[in-house]
Structure 1
Amino acid sequence: MAGADAYIIAGHMAHIAFIGLGVMGGPMAGHLAKAGHRLTVFNRSIGKAKSWAEAYGGEVAITPAKAAEEADIVISCVGNDDDLSQITLGREGAFRTMRPGSLFIDHTTVSARIARQLFVEGESLGLHCVDAPVSGGQAGAENGRLSIMCGATEPAFAAAQIVMQAYAARIIHVGGAGAGQTTKMVNQICIAGVLQGVSEALRFAQAADLDLDKVFEAISGGAAQSWQMENRWKTMAQDRFDFGFAVDWMRKDLGLALEEARANGATLPMTALVDQFYADVQAMGGNRQDTSSLVRRITRA
């Protein structure tokens, strides 16, 4: 496509509008600035945008539309479907000022429905859209080691990949519009099941009065090994949950998966059960705790 990818390949850094500077978006935008791209940023909290600009340079816009006016590429990382709709299709949304041929990349975890809607809306305006949710958490964003799953046309993905390399360790083109979001749902379904298994295993080991460090050493190198076990077993054993990916966000993500399953006919009994277990954790006050706080609802023997 004669758009953002050609502009970068020609030897120029792109002018990028980055919308959403939270715990994920802020570091990702920072990697783009360090790579030499020119950034204009927007955040709902103007103070956060100004702080980011002071740290990394670039300009601050007062609306998504203003941020996108001169941009070759617009990248968003916001909260949910409503936020995404507002910053793209709203009265002051980016789609109102983006130029034909420019590229839109969304890193928000949202429904496949809105990803497909934005693809259609963008296509009618001559825009190239990529739904590109990420995995790897805050640490992955800060270290530039995110995994990104993409739904897009081949040309749009090729253009987006060049830019996303600034903050990603793995970038996979899964399929067409919405495929990135449905793949992120697969990711969250797997995490939910693994964390429930690790939670039960930990409580079982405690009930058996085993040395938890020795248990971890014995099983973490075999078939039971997982990222969750490697990174959360010790903190779960210490009842430490004040970090990581919040339960509130996990419930949002599992809700998206369950909604999509109702549409495509998939059966997700374990996911529905763990979603309700997370509701228990919320009732215990664990809304902002890491997803590994799932173990809290299983009482010690």
Structure 2
Amino acid sequence: MANIAFLGLGVMGYPMAAHLKHKGGHAVTVYNRTAAKAANWVEQHGGAMASTPAEAAKDKDFVFCCVGNDDDLRSVTIGQDGAFSAMKKGAVFIDNTTASAEVARELDAAARAAGFGFIDAPVSGGQAGAENGVLTVMCGGDAATFETARPVIEAYARMVGLMGPAGSGQLTKMVNQICIAGLVQGLAEGIHFGMKAGLDMDKVIDVISKGAAGSWQMENRHKTMIAGKYDFGFAVDWMRKDLGIVLDESDRNGAKLPVTALVDQFYKDVQSMGGRRWDTSSLLARLGN
């Protein structure tokens, strides 16, 4: 059993923290910007809550974090009452936020200077993956630090891998989002075409999902897409945030991402339709009936 803090109890962090406590068997202290949510978590799962990230991180072996963006991440780490000011030497900070590789490298350097470890560890699998403890975790950081953290991370993961030095986890998550963006647009167009052609799309998907066109998105989202239901899953606002990170990074490294940039604008269309919180499969909605 380890002493753990978890910072950020959103739709991902809330169940991830619970898996660390119940499946991992660890002592967990939680912090959330909205204190009522932390109080609800403690009421539901036990453990303790803290009023600041620093208070949560004090004397902990591992500090996990899952917040919104680079600015949120800096706030809870190196900001006023941030966790980095209280972490003990030899501890490990594991960041599950989807953020930039730049901030990951910045925080890794700050952690090294203070004598503790840092792993950037963005996740894939969505809310369902977090709730079921079967996320894919893409890590960047020092190999020895990763090996220390991996058994703890496995409480909420199906796959945990070290991709390279600090920032590599975030870069891998960017690859993940690039692939998903193009795949979902293709699936949306395929379903749209099939419906216009008068095909029974449930039968179509049942067949083609067993061939080269098959994907997780096809298997898990085709029924709700056909029904025009998008009120669940990974929100369009979150995807646009992630694709913004991707496109900023491509400006730095020179990668050419024409399809990703186009799909990002399609998601902007969905936002203008009132679909900011719709699932990312809502690309179909912008194509009309």
Which residue in 1 is equivalent to 2:37? Answer: 48
Residue 254 of structure 1: SS of its match in structure 2?
Answer: helix
Letter in 2 for 1:194: L
Letter in 2 for 1:100: K
Distance, in Å, in 2 between the alignment partners of 1:283 and 1:22 is: 24
Deviates further, 207-216 or 128-137: 207-216
TM-score calculated relative to the size of structure 1: 0.95
Give the CA deviation at 1:179. 0.2
Q: Aligned pair 1:245/2:234, yes or no?
A: yes
Q: Aligned pair 1:133/2:99, yes or no?
A: no
Residue 229 of structure 2: SS of its match in structure 1?
Answer: coil
Letter in 2 for 1:29: A
Distance, in Å, in 2 between the alignment partners of 1:228 and 1:149 is: 20
Residue 155 of structure 2: SS of its match in structure 1?
Answer: coil
Cα deviation digits, residues 104-161 of structure 1 (max 9, x gap):
0000000111001000111110110000000001111111100000001101110110
Which residue in 2 is equivalent to 1:27? Answer: 15
Which residue in 2 is equivalent to 1:233? Answer: 222
Which residue in 1 is equivalent to 2:106? Answer: 117
Q: 1:83 aligns with which of 72, 79, 85?
A: 72
Which residue in 1 is equivalent to 2:2? Answer: 14
The correspondence of residues 1-301 of structure 1 with structure 2, limited to 5 A, is 13-34=1-22, 35-300=24-289
Which residue in 2 is equivalent to 1:4? Answer: none
Cα deviation digits, residues 218-270 of structure 1 (max 9, x gap):
21100000111101111111000000000000000000000000111100000
Distance, in Å, in 2 between the alignment partners of 1:59 and 1:200 is: 48
Deviates further, 35-44 or 109-118: 35-44
Give the CA deviation at 1:213. 1.3
Cα deviation digits, residues 153-172 of structure 1 (max 9, x gap):
10111011010111100001
Distance, in Å, in 2 between the alignment partners of 1:115 and 1:32 is: 23
Identity in percent: 59
Letter in 2 for 1:119: D
Q: Which stretches in structure 2 are left out of the alignment for 5+ residues?
A: none
Residue 97 of structure 2: SS of its match in structure 1?
Answer: coil
Runs of 4+ in 1 over 3 A off after TM superposition: none
Q: Which stretches in structure 1 are left out of the alignment for 5+ residues?
A: 1-12
Distance, in Å, in 2 between the alignment partners of 1:74 and 1:203 is: 45
Letter in 2 for 1:293: S
Letter in 1 for 2:53: P
Give the CA deviation at 1:299. 2.3
Residue 267 of structure 1: SS of its match in structure 2?
Answer: coil
